[in-house]
Chain A
Amino acid sequence: MDFQLSCPRKCPHSRPAEKFSEILNTSKGLRPDPSTYLKSEYISSHLAKFNGGVTKISASAPTEVVGPPGGTFVMPKSLADEMIATAGGNVSKLEELLSLEPGTLGINPVRIDISSPNGLRVPSGNELGANSQWLPGGYTGGGIPEATIDPAQIGTYIVENIFK
């Protein structure tokens, strides 16, 4: 599937790998805004992937605001639909597609769909959810397109069991 083939290093960034190394070597909280190293056309094209809404996945349903202060990572809803369909009811397969450790999703994972997210943007790497695997450019190491949104308030998201 193409989401596994979209290596972030092959994306049409406007800056060389050296710039990305510099960003990765910058402490979280101090990393530059992506608009300073990505072309505006690239940013627009990337964010257009999220026009149909965004999705997060969790082992359990949220009870409060979704996402920590500073914003949360999301994937395109259309891609979540595709991955869940490909997994065919198999949680382990979904974990594999998401490049997760076995058991991460538990036995009854949920999807959190946000149809009208606030603050959709290319991740800067300053997000609390930006771990050591984070890469500049809006793709996970496994090639999944990602964006950041403002924390989603109760009433702005829908939670459903992934496998019914």
Chain B
Amino acid sequence: MELVFSGFGIEIIKKEGKFFVKYDSGEIVSKVIEKEITEEEAIKAQKSEKDAYEMLLSRERRT
């Protein structure tokens, strides 16, 4: 497992060639969420907090 990025409230991890994002769910009672993302999404999320938000929102919509 490799920590690729930590910032903007997210962590991007690479496991066995796949990218995963971990983040606080953001509810009053929060939990840690981990979802698989694409490499393109991993790259976008590292650019800015806005990009990270947009990536997570996009990822949420296709769940």
Contacts and interface: CB of A to CB of B under 8 A. Distances in A.
Interface of A: 28-29, 56-60, 62, 64-75, 98, 100, 104-105, 127-129, 131, 140, 144, 146, 151
Contacts of A144: 28
Contacts of B38: none
Contact of B28 (A57, A59, A128): A57
Contacts of A28: 57, 60
A150 B7 CA distance: 14
28 contacts: A29-B54, A56-B30, A58-B29, A62-B24, A64-B11, A65-B8, A67-B9, A67-B24, A68-B10, A68-B23, A69-B8, A69-B23, A69-B50, A69-B52, A69-B53, A70-B49, A70-B57, A72-B24, A72-B27, A73-B27, A73-B28, A74-B28, A75-B28, A104-B29, A105-B29, A128-B57, A128-B60, A144-B28
Contacts of B30: 56-58, 66-67, 72, 129
B18 to A, nearest CB: 21
Given A64-B6, A64-B11, A151-B9, A69 B56 contact: yes
Contacts, number: 85
Contacts of B32: 60
Given A28-B57, A69-B52, A129 B26 contact: yes
B28 A146 contact: yes
Contact of A98 (B8, B9, B29): B29
